């Protein structure tokens, strides 16, 4: 299907919040854009104008306006790491990473050889993502090509901006979910040719993590990246201390976990590494120099007892690394980016640091877009970008309405407190509406 079909000119009026720069490095007053009464103009799924309502109203007086009073409109949330295949095993009890994979993940992923099962879970997965306000995600499928086809077919039907790929594993996993370097290459190549840049879809070559790929398979990944230089690389890194030690045993010639990927030629500008909890200073520096990204997955890291991500180090001015939020379902315990942000705040607090709502929601929007090298297409309301946006209700529940009495806010300073309240207390009930490429895809009013 076409990415954007013919749509009439649309005008949306409400309060708007987005980001024009990174508040980790630029003052919030200079990087956060808040318009208490704004107008967003959309045509054929693309933002064509944006600004103060009073400035634009006469220019677009001929267009019917959809108004969301006492609401806050933001760009759609971006999830930089999630496993759609683990939808049905979220909240699996009692293990840490390596044991959890063997006990729960691998048997669950076995089912995705069945295309019908993959289609069923893909439908449920996208229903949940959209309900939570997530409009773009970087997603793990399984080792089965059927799982990738099912994912992309459903994403295409909904006209979503999505990235995914077949998982590659040729060792240290049950035979029923392993491939070989040769089949990994051939299957991935066919899937890339079929799905990459098909509408709004993009492909990520996806070795699960270093322990489940031989050096030979990692080199086939590099071959794919060379043949298709605009595809993505997604994998895991330094999530768990036992995992890090295991990698050192499996790759004794390496100078550390990241070096395994680096020696294979997998560390680049479109490489996204999930977790990175136990990265060394040198590894942070290398990721910065390579312009690679880290997916920060706080609910997963806490659930599996993996550790606390060093966000301040990742966002240092000396060696800055691109960072976005990842829900990492099924180790993550919620599809909600709002919930992910409030757990990220707690991770920062446990390290004696603070994470403002503005910084957190930057990671959820423009920061995530930059992590995925998509800031030219999504992430804020600049004209020319794709019109994926969400309508938030900071007073969605009785508790939130009591906490956030100061909303609507007339200024950025006034917004800070109710925005933090929304981040800490909000969930899918706070997502009043979701627009995908300018079309209403979800509305609580319709339920």
For residues 176-180, average pLDDT? 97
> What is this structure's pTM?
0.97
CA torsion sign for 327, 160, 233, 191 is: positive
pLDDT digits 0-9 by tens, 139-148: 999 999 999 9
- On the question of pLDDT at 446 being above 70, the answer is no
Report d(CA 126, CA 441) in Å as an integer.
11
237 neighbors 274 (Cβ within 8 angstroms): yes
Report d(CA 89, CA 45) in Å as an integer.
35
pLDDT digits 0-9 by tens, 361-387: 999 999 999 999 999 999 999 999 999
- Identify any residues that bridge with 234 across adjacent strands, giving them in sequence order: 272
393 neighbors 432 (Cβ within 8 angstroms): yes
- Give φ, ψ of 382 to 5 degrees: -65, 135
For residues 277-283, average pLDDT? 98
pLDDT digits 0-9 by tens, 399-435: 999 999 999 999 999 999 999 999 999 999 999 999 9
Residues 6+ apart with CB under 8 A from 252: none
pLDDT of the residue at 94 = 86
pLDDT of the residue at 7 = 80
For residues 124-147, average pLDDT? 98
- On the question of pLDDT at 30 being above 80, the answer is yes
Report d(CA 167, CA 182) in Å as an integer.
14
For the chain, helix, strand, coil in percent to 5 are 40, 25, 35
Report d(CA 422, CA 443) in Å as an integer.
18
pLDDT of the residue at 354 = 95
300: left (phi over 0), alpha (psi -120 to 50) or beta: alpha
pLDDT of the residue at 29 = 94
- Give φ, ψ of 318 to 5 degrees: -75, -45
For residues 35-39, average pLDDT? 98
% residues pLDDT > 90 (the chain): 97
- On the question of pLDDT at 1 being above 60, the answer is no
- Give φ, ψ of 341 to 5 degrees: -65, -40
240 neighbors 249 (Cβ within 8 angstroms): no
Length of the chain: 447
pLDDT digits 0-9 by tens, 339-350: 999 999 999 999
pLDDT digits 0-9 by tens, 232-263: 999 999 999 999 999 999 999 999 999 999 99
């Amino acid at each position: 299907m076409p990415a954007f079909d013919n749509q009439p000119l649309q005008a949306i009026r409400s309060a708007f919040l987005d980001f024009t720069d990174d508040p980790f490095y630029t003052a919030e007053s200079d990087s956060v854009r808040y318009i208490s009464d704004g107008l967003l103009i959309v045509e054929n799924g693309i933002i064509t104008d944006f600004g103060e309502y009073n400035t634009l109203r006469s220019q677009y007086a001929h267009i019917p306006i959809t108004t969301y009073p006492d609401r806050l409109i933001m760009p759609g949330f971006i999830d930089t790491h999630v496993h759609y295949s683990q939808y049905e095993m979220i909240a699996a009890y009692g293990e840490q990473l390596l044991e959890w994979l063997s006990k729960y993940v691998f048997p669950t992923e076995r089912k995705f050889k069945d295309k019908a099962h993959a289609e069923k879970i893909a439908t449920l997965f996208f229903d949940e993502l959209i309900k939570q306000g997530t409009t773009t995600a970087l997603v793990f499928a399984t080792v089965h090509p059927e799982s990738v086809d099912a994912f992309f077919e459903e994403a295409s039907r909904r006209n979503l901006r999505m990235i995914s790929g077949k998982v590659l594993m040729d060792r240290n996993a049950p035979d029923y979910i392993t491939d070989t370097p040769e089949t990994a290459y051939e299957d991935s190549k066919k899937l890339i040719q079929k799905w990459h840049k098909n509408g709004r879809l993009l492909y990520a070559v996806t070795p699960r993590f270093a322990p489940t790929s031989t050096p030979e398979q990692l080199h086939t990944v590099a071959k794919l990246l060379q043949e298709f230089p605009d595809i993505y690389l997604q994998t895991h890194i330094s999530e768990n201390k036992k995992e890090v030690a295991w990698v050192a045993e499996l790759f004794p010639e390496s100078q550390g976990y990241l070096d395994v990927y680096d020696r294979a030629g997998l560390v680049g500008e479109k490489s996204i590494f999930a977790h990175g909890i136990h990265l060394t200073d040198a590894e942070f520096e290398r990721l910065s120099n390579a312009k690679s990204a880290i997916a920060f997955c706080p609910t997963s890291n806490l659930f599996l007892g993996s550790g606390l991500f060093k966000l301040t180090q990742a966002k240092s001015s000396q060696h800055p690394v691109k960072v976005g939020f990842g829900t990492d379902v099924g180790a993550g315990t919620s599809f909600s980016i709002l919930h992910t942000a409030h757990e990220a705040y707690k991770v920062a607090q446990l390290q004696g640091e603070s994470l403002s709502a503005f910084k957190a929601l930057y990671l959820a929007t423009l920061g995530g877009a930059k992590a995925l090298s998509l800031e030219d297409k999504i992430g804020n309301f600049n004209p020319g970008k794709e019109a994926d946006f969400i309508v938030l209700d900071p007073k969605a529940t009785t508790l939130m309405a009591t906490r956030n009495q100061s909303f609507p806010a007339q200024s950025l300073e006034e917004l800070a407190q109710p925005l933090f309240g929304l981040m800490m207390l909000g969930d899918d009930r706070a997502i009043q509406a979701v627009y995908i490429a300018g079309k209403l895809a979800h509305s609580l009013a319709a339920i």
